[in-house]
Structures are given as structure tokens and as C-alpha cells.
């Protein structure tokens, strides 16, 4: 995990170590915390139309960015705890998706997603 | 957003553009997709003890890594769609957390989290 | 908790007892299982438009009903484990909502929800 | 859908009608709102041990009951919107689970769940 995410990872380890929070940070608990934050993120959008979600007012955008950050902070901590490199894992998954959804068959169709 | 995440971001934009999937990728829908993947991630841990979650067998670890990847892929696409820099946002949130949870008061206590 | 939900509650207790699954059914784990099922429910809708979600084909409707059922089954087991009467709790919450969202101020506005 | 849930269902329809909120209550949006509430429910448990979750203090129990209620209120509204009878659907799912997890093979094992 190079660069920007690696910096974040080191800072988060120090943050948790300084507070002796690693005891609470089992992968099970971090995966729970991640989905809780994903819920707070989705809450901003739940009564919006899709169109409204594409054109957020500045204040809402900042609130959404804060929730996205919380998701990312737990995701990095979870990959730390498990010894996973998130970028390498994401690149591998993206390569699989390239095979799973060939351009000429997937174009313009949301149905491909349903096969997951 | 420099480096590794930026690469991923560019690849994901091309992936969605090639398939004409941007029409489905409203922030509202991407936030839904993100939490759906966060659920698939949590599913691996739901009946485990915390201890078990800290020592996953290799096969389970790979399955978990794939779900973490899905969460990250949607997170990057959501920040793309919103024009948010996820690393800058996460750094800002981490700075806030440093103020919110001073080391000497937060040490060893999970209660601080309850004030969220 | 009278009647239909009470029947379901008794059956679910017997189901878990017969399989010696109460050991796994801590409230923490049941709340995780509930949100995992809620994710499987949402997955059906994630790429649909709202209009499409209001007019599901029969096959999709049955798949959605199965996921709603899973959510309800865990919700009942969670309330069992905690000794909560779900109907009484829901009635109390509904009464609070009546006070929180007066008809003449809440009419036609989704903004009221944002104050949560 | 007989009795207690049916009462709740009727009250929720009147509640939404009075406020002209049915326009926001597409199944897609209700499924989002349900998982958002499921996240608020899980948040109470995320840093607890399983043991702690089995012995909640009274104040925490009441907060949890309120979140369970929110999940149930959206579940009932979603089944209303879709024309699903939640009790009948849950009974059907429970019958399937009886076949899927025979007592003599499922006893004491959380592994059966992994096959989902």
C-alpha cells in the first residue's frame, strides 16, 4: 500500500495506539463500525431523488464528505487489522470485474449487476 | 487525491464510461451500493467471536479482502461523482478526531465513541 | 406482544433452541445479522429508479419478500433476546413521531426527516 | 396480516397520508431508510462485547428499543408499499429454514449459516 493511503494507515495506527483502542478494534467490530458509518452516509440521500443527489448544496456536500471519510477511516483500520493491502485487493477485484462484465455485453445495462 | 487511489479512480471512471454505467451511478445509488457491500463484508463476521475475527483462515481472509475491495471501489466512485478528494477529507476528519478524543481522556475507554 | 408476531416469536425460540443456536444469538450478533439482511433487501433496489421499485415484476417481488422476511425474523429474535415487546415499542415511537412531525408543518416536506 | 401488525400498518398509512409523505415512500427509499435505522441500531452494540450486549443497562435498553421500533416501522411501511403480508412471508421463510437446517445436522454449529 503505497503513498497517500499508507500515510493515513500509519496515522490511524498511532491514533488508536495512543488511546489504547486496539483492544476494541477487532475486525468484527471494525466491520460493524464501517457499516454504521455507511448508514450515516446513506441517510443523507435516502429521501432525495437521484437528480438531487447529483447536485448537492455545498453544506450538504461537506456533511457527506465527512461521512465518506468515516467509512474510509474504518476501512483502512480494518485492512490494517487484517494485514490486507486495500489498493492491491481493489486492483485485483477490478481486474475480475473486467472479465465478468465485458464491455459489449454490459453496455448500458444495469442487469449485469443482478448476477452478483 | 494523489497516487494509488488516483490511479484507481481513473480506472473506475474508464470502466464505467466504457459500459455506459454513469447513468446508474448517481451518488444516491452509489451510497446504496456501498452499504450493500459493507453488509456482505459484515456477513463474514456476524457469527464469529471477536477472537475468531482476529485470526481468519487464509480462505476466509481472501473472501473478506474481496468484500473490502468492493466497498473501496464504490467509495472511490462516490467521491468521483461528488468531486470529493477522499484522502484530504479523511485527513481533515482525523484532525477533528484528534481534538475530539484527547489522549489523556480517551485512553482505554470505548465510551468516548458513544458521544458521536 | 399479542397474536401473529407472538406466534412467530415462539416458533423462532424453538427453532434456535432445537439447534442450540442461542449461544450465537447475542444481541450484538443479531443486530449484525439484521443489517446484513437489510443489505440483501436493499441490493434488489440499488440500481432501480424509484418508479421501477413501485412496480416490481412478480419474481422480483417474491425475492424481496424473502429478504423482508429475513429482516423480520432477526428483528423478532433480537426483541426476544432483549425482552422488548416490538409492537409496544413501535406504538410508543409512533406516538412520539406524531408529536415531532405535526401535520400542518410536515405536510409534503421531506426536510423534517433531516432533523433526526 | 392480522391483528397487532395490521393495526400498526393502518396507523402508518394514515400518518404518511396526513403528511403527504407517500411521494417520498417508494420501496427503494423505504429500503434505504430501513437499513439506515438498522445502522443506528447496530451502533449501540459496535464496541460492546457479546456479553455486554446480553445485559444492557435500562437506559441503553430503551435507546435500543427505540431503534428497533424505527426498523419495524419502516419494515411495515415497505410491506404496505409492496402489498406483502410480512407475517405470511416470514412464516414461509421459517418453513424453508426448517428444511434447510435440519436439527441433527445444524445443532451447535454456526457454520450452517455460512452457506447462505
Q: How many angstroms separate the first and last alpha carbons of chain A?
A: 27
- The residue written with cell numbers 473486467 in the block is A98
The CATH number of residue D26's host domain is 1.10.287.1080
Q: Which of D19, D29, B77 lies closest to C50 in space, CA to CA?
A: D29
CB D23 within 8 A of CB C27: no
Q: Does an H or E element contain A12, and which?
A: helix A3-18
Q: Give pLDDT tens digits along chain A (116 positions).
A: 447 888 999 999 999 999 999 999 999 999 999 999 999 999 999 999 999 999 999 999 999 999 999 999 999 999 999 999 999 999 999 999 999 999 988 888 865 554 44
All 3 cell numbers of residue D58? Answer: 435500562
**Closest Cα of chain B to C21: distance in Å?**
10
8 Å CB contact between B60 and D111: no
SS3 for B101? coil
Query: Is the pLDDT assigned to residue D113 strictly greater than 80?
Result: no
Q: Give the integer Cα–Cα distance in Å for B50 and D43.
A: 16
Number of domains in chain B: 1
- Tell me whether A113 touches chain C (CB under 8 Å): yes
> Could you tell me if residue A114 is inside a domain?
no
The answer to whether the beta carbons of residues D75 and D34 sit under 8 Å apart is yes
Q: Which of B32, B47, B116 sits opposite D110 (nearest CB)?
A: B47
- Residue A86 belongs to a domain: yes
Quote the pTM value. Answer: 0.94
The segments of chain B whose pLDDT lies below 50 read 1-2, 114-116
**Where in the sequence is the domain holding C83, given as residue range(s)?**
5-106
Query: Is D53 touching A (CB cutoff 8 A)?
Result: no
Is the minimum CB–CB distance between A107 and chain C shorter than 8 Å?
Answer: no
Query: Would residue A66 count as lying in a domain?
Result: yes
Number of neighbouring beta carbons within 10 Å of residue D62: 13
Q: Which chains touch C (3 or more CB pairs under 8 A)?
A: A, B, D
Spell out which residues of chain A touch residue D43, defining contact as CB-CB under 8 Å: 36
- Domain presence at residue D113: no
Q: For residues B61 and B43, give the distance between their C-alpha atoms in angstroms, rounded to a whole number.
A: 13
Nearest by CB to residue B32, choosing from C29, C32, C46, is C46
Give SS3 for A43. Answer: helix
Residue C91 lies in a domain: yes
- B59 touching chain D per CB within 8 A: no
ipTM: 0.92
* C36 falls within a domain: yes
| Chain D residue nearest residue C81, CA to CA | D54
Alpha-carbon gap, residue B28 to C113, rounded angstroms: 16
Q: Is B35 on the interface with C (CB under 8 A)?
A: yes
Grid cell of B85 as nine digits: 478528494
- What's the pLDDT score for residue A107? 87
Q: Which of C24, C32, C45 lies closest to B42 in CB terms? A: C32
Q: How much is the pLDDT for B1? A: 44
Return the half-sphere exposure (C-beta side, CA atoms, 13 A cut-off) of residue C76.
26
With respect to residue D91, please indicate whether it lies within any of the assigned structural domains: yes
Q: From the list D33, D42, D47, which residue is nearest A35 (CB)?
A: D42
Question: D35, C12: Cβ pair inside 8 Å?
Answer: no
Closest CA to D68 of A108, C35, A70, B53: C35
Residues near A94 by beta carbon (within 8 Å), at least 6 away in sequence: B8, B11, B12, B15, B69, B73
**CA quadruple D40, A66, A60, D30: dihedral sign:** negative
Q: What is the pLDDT of residue B108?
A: 84
Taking only the tens place, the pLDDT of each residue in D12-52 is 999 999 999 999 999 999 999 999 999 999 999 999 999 99
- Asked if residue C116 is part of any domain, the answer here is no
Confidence of residue C100 (pLDDT cuts 50, 70, 90): very high
Contact assessment for residue A38 and residue B34, using Cβ atoms and an 8 Å cutoff: yes
Amino acid at each position: 500500500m503505497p503513498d497517500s493511503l499508507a500515510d493515513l494507515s500509519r496515522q490511524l495506527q498511532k491514533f488508536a495506539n495512543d488511546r489504547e483502542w486496539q483492544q476494541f478494534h477487532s475486525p468484527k467490530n471494525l466491520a460493524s463500525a464501517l457499516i454504521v458509518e455507511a448508514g450515516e452516509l446513506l441517510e443523507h440521500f435516502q429521501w432525495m431523488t437521484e437528480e438531487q443527489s447529483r447536485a448537492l448544496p455545498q453544506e450538504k456536500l461537506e456533511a457527506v464528505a465527512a461521512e465518506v471519510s468515516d467509512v474510509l477511516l474504518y476501512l483502512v483500520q480494518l485492512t490494517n487489522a487484517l494485514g490486507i493491502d486495500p489498493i492491491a485487493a481493489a486492483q485485483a477485484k477490478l481486474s475480475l470485474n473486467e472479465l465478468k462484465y465485458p464491455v459489449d455485453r454490459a453496455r448500458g445495462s444495469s442487469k449485469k449487476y443482478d448476477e452478483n
